Each structure stands twice: as structure tokens, then as C-alpha cells.
Amino acid sequence: MEEGSKVMQEQRMNLFVTLWAKRKILIIVTSAGLVVSTVIAFLMTPLYRSTAIVFPAATSTVSFSEQRNAKASSMDFGEEEQAEQLIQILQSSKVRDKVVQQFDLMKHYEIEADDANKHYKLVKEYNSHILFVRTRYGSIQIDVLDRDPQLAADMANKIVDLIDTVKNEMVMERTVPAFEINKRKKEQLERDKEAVLNQLDSLAALGVVPLEGRANLFQAYVEAKNPEDKADFKRRIDINLEFGAVFDGLEYVRNEKIMKLADFALSYEQAESDANTQFNHKFIVERAVMADKKDKPKRLIIMILATFGTFVFMVFALLIQDKIREIRKLA
């Protein structure tokens, strides 16, 4: 143990002696690293951060069903699933393209229009300046970094507004065709009902009456006193005998159509609401404001890390150089 301790102590002394002997070059190179890092840090473009925070809504529709799920209330905040869905929408090209177009980010990020890799560079710049993070509270934090603090705030607030625009567009891609199908079905049921009613009206004009009325016709025929009344009732009875079954069938079809329309009304109202209502899909907790202090770069941290890194690098470089000399001497 004592020998091992002595060896370690000797190694430490050798390290200290080596560094002390090379102190001038260490100081010069470390100082140069400090100067270079300082120049680089002050040449870096300052970026300002604007932050907006939103909560996803639990539902994107108004339910007409009596068996409504309590979690589907339009007043409820969304949970993890809704938050993840919202992040996917925010990261989509639909949101990105609208932001790029409105704020002319191709020009703002100084990307040439004829650059062969312009789309790659644009997406890379966009993703490095605009971040979406789900917080531990279930909300979505939208961070926008830009050299123009007002532009950063405007972009963050625009993205917040685009949540409803883009999601409504996505929802309507499904709900509008569904509503059109429901609308055509409803119109078809109404046309069928009107056709049955017209046939019933035509038969009624001929003198055909419902089943209950036919029994009364037979009773009236029996009780008729003069030949004219008997002949009239006989004619009407003959008509009802000929078309009564058709009339009864049409009445049954009419009642079926009316019941189907009544049952279909809820589905139609739901489809109409989903297709024609522009829903709000988020709760805005905090809108972005213009930052009055830069967020990046942290110049002091850059200078400290660069200087320390230069010092450590030179220490290792000098030790390696010293070991190489020892090996050469032994060889």
C-alpha cells in the first residue's frame, strides 16, 4: 500500500512538474482560446425567445346523443392522447407551410430560391427555431426563436391560431363527405315519403278510405234507404275493394318512412354540426409577447466552456507529447 501511494504521489509530482514547465504555452494557448471564443460569442446573432402555452380540448365536436360521455364535454381539457395529437398537428407540413408563406421565411432565413437544397435547408432552419414541447402538466409549449423579437412573438401567436385552422381543415376532409352522404340519404327518404303520400292522395281522391272507414261504408250501404244512396255506397265499396289492399300497403310504407326519418334526424343533425361548425380545439393559457432580453447565445457560458476545453485539451496534448519523448528515449 505504501509503495502504491508513493508511486501515485510521484506521478502527481511529475504531472505538476510537466505542467509547470509548460506553463507559458498553456497560458498562451488558453488565453488564445479565450480570445477566440469571446470574438465568436460576440459575433453570433442574438436570438430572442417568445413562448405561447395552450391546452388541447378534450373533444372536437358537439354531441347530440343523450348517452353523452362525461369526458366529451367541450369544457374539458384534453389528456395525454389529445396533447400528442396536437403536437403531431403542430409539427405537420400544413402548419409549417402556412407559417413559411405568411412570414416569407425563405427570405428571412436567407435561403436562395434557386438553391437545389432549399427545402432541406428551410425545414432545418424552421425546426431549429420553432419547438413544440409537451409539459408535465399536459399543456403544449410553443417556443419560437428569432433575431427579431417582434417576429418571434408574431410567429408564435400565428401558430396558436393555426391550430384551429389546420385541424378544422383536417376534420372537414372527413365530416363534409359524411354530411353529404347523410344529406343525400335524408333527401331520398323525404322523396320516397312524398311519393307515397302522393299515391295515397290519388287513391283518396278516388274514394279509397282507411280500413276503419271501409267498415263504415258497409254499414252505411246496409242502412241506405233509397236506391241512389245504395248505388253510391256500392260504387265506393267496389273502389275500396279494388284498391284497399294497395292503400293499406302504402299506409304501412308511409309510416315506415316517417319512423326512419325520425330515427335518422339525430344522425343528420350530428353530421351537419360536425361539417358546418368551426370548432375551437385548444384553450389558450398564455399568448406570446415580444421578448426584451435575448435568449441565445449565452456568451459567458460559451467563453468559459471554450476556455476550459482549450486548457484541458492542451494538458492532454502536452502529457502525450511528453510520453512520446520518453518512449523515443527508451527506444
pLDDT tens digit sequence for 3-21: 555 555 655 666 666 667 6
Reference 282, options 49, 50, 76, 98; nearest CA is 76
Share of the chain above pLDDT 70, in %: 81
Tell me the range of 158-162, 184-188, 229-233 where mean pLDDT is highest. Answer: 158-162
Which strand ranges, in their side-by-side order, compose the sheet holding 140-146?
A: 130-134, 140-146, 48-56, 282-286
Q: Under DSSP, is residue 229 helix (H, G, I), strand (E, B) or coil?
A: helix
Q: Under DSSP, is residue 1 helix (H, G, I), strand (E, B) or coil?
A: coil
Lowest-confidence pick of 40-54, 174-188, 263-277: 263-277
Alpha helices, DSSP H, located in the chain: 2-21, 23-43, 80-90, 93-103, 105-108, 118-129, 149-206, 211-223, 227-276, 299-330
More confident position, 66 or 101 = 101
Calculate mean pLDDT across residues 136-165.
90
Q: Cα 302 from chain centroid?
A: 37
CA distances from 331 to 300, 324, 328 (A): 47, 11, 5
Q: Under DSSP, is residue 141 helix (H, G, I), strand (E, B) or coil?
A: strand
Question: What is the Cα–Cα distance from 152 to 289, expressed in whole angstroms?
Answer: 9
Q: Is the pLDDT of residue 154 over 90?
A: yes
The 10s digit of each residue's pLDDT in 241-260 is 777 778 878 888 888 888 88
The 10s digit of each residue's pLDDT in 300-312 is 777 778 788 887 8
Provide the mean pLDDT of the chain: 79
* pLDDT reported for residue 45: 73
Lowest-confidence pick of 135-144, 193-202, 234-243: 234-243
pTM reported for the whole predicted model? 0.66
Q: Is the pLDDT of residue 155 over 90?
A: yes
pLDDT grade for 69, boundaries at 50, 70 and 90: very low
Q: Is the pLDDT of residue 331 over 80?
A: no
Q: What are phi and psi of 140, to 5 degrees?
A: -115, 125
Residue 309 C-beta-side C-alpha neighbours within 13 Å: 9
The 10s digit of each residue's pLDDT in 199-243 is 888 887 777 777 777 777 667 666 677 777 677 767 777 787 777
Q: Is the pLDDT of residue 65 over 60?
A: no
* pLDDT reported for residue 70: 42
* pLDDT reported for residue 143: 93
* pLDDT reported for residue 292: 81
Q: Is the pLDDT of residue 55 over 60?
A: yes
Q: Cα 13 from chain centroid?
A: 63
* pLDDT reported for residue 300: 74
* pLDDT reported for residue 115: 84
